[in-house]
Amino acid sequence: MTKPQGLHQTVYAGAFVHSTDLNELEICENGAIGVDEDGKIAFVERNVEDLNAVVEKHGWKSPVLVRAPDCGFFFPGFIDTHIHASQYPNAGIFGKSTLLDWLETYTFPLESSLSSRPKAKTVYTRCVQRTLSHGTTTAAYYATAHAGSTNLLSDVCLQLGQRAFIGRCNMDSLAPDWYKDSSASTAVDDTRETIAHIASIDPEHKLITPILTPRFAPSCSSELLTQLGKLHAETGLPCQTHISENIPELELVQKLFPQYSSYADVYDAHGLLTPGMVLAHAVYLTPKEQALIKARDAKISHCPASNSSLSSGCARVRTLLDQGITVGLGTDISGGYSPSVLEAARQAALVSRHVAMTDGDAAKLSVEEVLYLSTKGGARVMGLDAKVGSFDKGLEWDAQMISLGVVPEGGTMGNVDEGPVDIFGWESWDERVAKWVYNGDDRNTRAVWVRGHKVHQKP
């Protein structure tokens, strides 16, 4: 893909909501956002009384007009900073397992089966369609260890128009013989093949970017981590991995890498703890590790639904934020059960309340904060904050249209009562947004755009 084709100047009129800061949600009831033929925001107008006057002011002749529904609004597309596309068929299946037995029982067998390209294509197509329908406009994906199937995921994202980071999963240790890289050098060769494939289909990475992906320290030899660290320095490509997710995993890292002072130090010593690194989970980081991560400006993907499902633990997000660490949200399918970033935001709010029960009220994350993490925070995690995450002039139009009124399928927020009492629409705008965060789902997501292109629409 070079340049978005077939776009017209478009004005998105009505209410819009977006984060301006961690604690600040701007709610504009009468807005008009002009998006140009390149899919970029050309103007943002507030307190609009006369739409024609706005159009004229900007010298636009006859733009396409898209109106937010009554009791609805435009919202930036969600950014899922950690999701395993390859595990999509297992979403919701984890029983009472915890991380290490879950990997053996459920995850490696499924990922291994994606050596079948027809199966991989079906799984990836469904995963991308589904996440788009939940308003995910950018996703940082793990694929599998298979280069060919990983390339299919890049093709699917490009074809369906989702902005994506695609990672071939590197794992040359501590995994079954039937599912692991045969050596560090074949792992890196295969990773280079996936980078070359993306260069051939989207050379400027307008939509698709490779992301180096050591699965996690226990499944990588020191040699593989070293080679990936070199590749990271050589290419400048982003990187993603897991860190400090559950206690037996920490013990395993200590056993496998006794010469390093901590889990974070293992990555640091291999040249992987950099501003381009996204670390998923970060539940049990010590204060020293947090300081190291902050010093290196590495980023954290908070995956609350997964941490609860696999009973991994409760990440201390407030502590991370207070130290100035950049945090976003991840669904972590299928450690997490849901493809929805809205669900991840809700779970982030709820987990923070569990933390507050022991650590005190300051731990609680507000609606404003979890919405920030799911958009602008995620954009910062992925190094995309100059492109997406909010509605500012010059950013690309990655957005979703939310309807809070009647949803045809009979939503939980719908005004289905035909009686004389208005059960919806009486709330303040802040309250409407809170109801969406705590009760909303994909039925409220009426349309989704990436780079100005409509990539999903509810009938």
Minimal distance, residue 99 CB to ligand GUN, in Å: 6
Minimum separation from the CB atom of position 43 to ligand GUN (A): 42
Distances (CA, A) of 402 to 76, 158, 413, 457: 10, 24, 12, 11
Backbone angles phi, psi at 373, to 5 degrees: -60, -35
**Site size with Fe ion, rule: CB under 5 A:** 1
Q: Which stretch binds ligand GUN (CB under 6 A): 38-46, 99-107, 253-261, 286-294?
A: 99-107
Between 332 and 369, name the residue whose CB sits nearer to Fe ion. 332
Please state, in angstroms and rounded to a whole number, the distance separating the CA atoms of residues 308 and 292. Answer: 26
For residue 68, the minimal CB distance to ligand GUN (Å) is 36
**Shorter beta-carbon distance to Fe ion: residue 306 or 400:** 306
How many residues of this chain interact with ligand GUN, rule: CB under 6 A?
Answer: 11
Q: How far apart are the C-alpha atoms of 388 and 379, rounded to whole Å?
A: 6
Q: Which of 362, 349, 285 is nearest to 318 (CA)?
A: 362
- Residues 213 and 33: their CA atoms lie apart, in Å, by 37
Q: Give me the residue label for tokens 């074809």.
A: 159
Identify which of residues 13 and 305 has a Cβ nearer to Fe ion in the complex. 305
Find the shortest distance in angstroms from Cβ 57 to Fe ion. Answer: 48
Segment near Fe ion (CB under 5 A), from 196-204, 332-340, 404-412, 419-427?
A: 332-340
The crossing angle, in degrees rounded to 10, of helices 117-133 and 147-160 is 40
Rounded Cα–Cα distance for residues 1 and 204 (Å): 8
215 binds, among ligand GUN, Fe ion, none (CB under 5 to 8 A by kind): ligand GUN
316's contact among Fe ion, ligand GUN, none, with CB below 5 to 8 A by partner kind, is none
Minimum gap (Å) between residue 332 Cβ and Fe ion:
4
Q: In the structure encoding, which two tokens stand for residue 228, read together?
A: 């990936």
Residue 190 interacts with Fe ion (CB under 5 A)?
no
Q: Which position's Cβ is nearest ligand GUN? A: 335
| Binding partner at 180 among Fe ion, ligand GUN, none, C-beta below 5 to 8 Å by kind | none
Answer yes or no whether residue 111 interacts with Fe ion by CB under 5 A: no
CA distance 370 to 18: 12
332 near Fe ion, rule: CB under 5 A: yes
From residue 230 to residue 259, the character string flagging contacts with ligand GUN as x (rule: CB under 6 A) and all else as - is ------------x--x--------------
Q: Using the rule CB under 6 A, is 335 a contact of ligand GUN?
A: yes
* 36 in contact with ligand GUN (CB under 6 A): no
Sign of CA dihedral 70, 8, 456, 28: negative
Residue closer to ligand GUN, measured from CB, 141 or 372: 141
* Residue placing its CB nearer to Fe ion in the complex, 19 or 244: 244
Give the pairing of strands 277-281 and 24-35.
unpaired
> 156-176 burial, b if ≥16 CB within 10 A, otherwise e?
bbbebbbbbbbbbbbbbbbbe
Residue for token digits 């369609």? 129
CB of 270 to ligand GUN, least distance (A): 17
| Helix or strand run (H / E) with residue 297 | none
Rounded least distance, CB 102 to Fe ion, Å: 11
**249 near Fe ion, judged by CB under 5 A:** no
* The token pair that represents 427 in the structure block: 């709330």
State which H helix or E strand residue 158 sits in.
helix 147-160
Summarize as ranges the residues that interact with ligand GUN (CB under 6 A): 84, 99, 103, 107, 215-216, 242, 245, 306, 332, 335
